[in-house]
Chains A and B, each alone.
Chain A
């Protein structure tokens, strides 16, 4: 079935270092969304990308959607302790279920 893969599963960084998580789908996605989940919390929507090659920025976060609409990335510049959490990408693969297919997430751990 359709799958959304995310790497890495865990990322340890020193505070102030950059962080990137990558998302790859086995099928073309109509759109991709990114969510953040703090430990013990619930997913919170960050952004949605729809167009091929789209790039969006939110302060220190940069989101990209690949030209083929099968991959995406989230890059955080100069991480802060408030960035701790798990970052999920999610999409609706063409011809698949109507709900979002989530990647397994990247756990960001920041060492002060």
Chain B
């Protein structure tokens, strides 16, 4: 069975502070991992995926297979980063994604 755990329901930081949103997963094979974001009054949208190894809006995420983690990081948070963030996993060969329960990020001015 595949599982995604986002241990923090809420993360509150000040503008300019570093941000790390935690995501741990449980899956025996090689997963594909994603971060989705939902800004206030907007739709859920893909932020980044681990296979792309890209930085989007200053966010990066590295897949750590040893720790089974895919934490989302940004060195300097901005107020516009305030949103709901969801980590998601797709097991190899499956079409069924598993989402975490989400972390609400609030960036104070």
- Same complex for A and B? Answer no
Interface residues of A (CB under 8 A from B): none
Interface residues of B (CB under 8 A from A): none
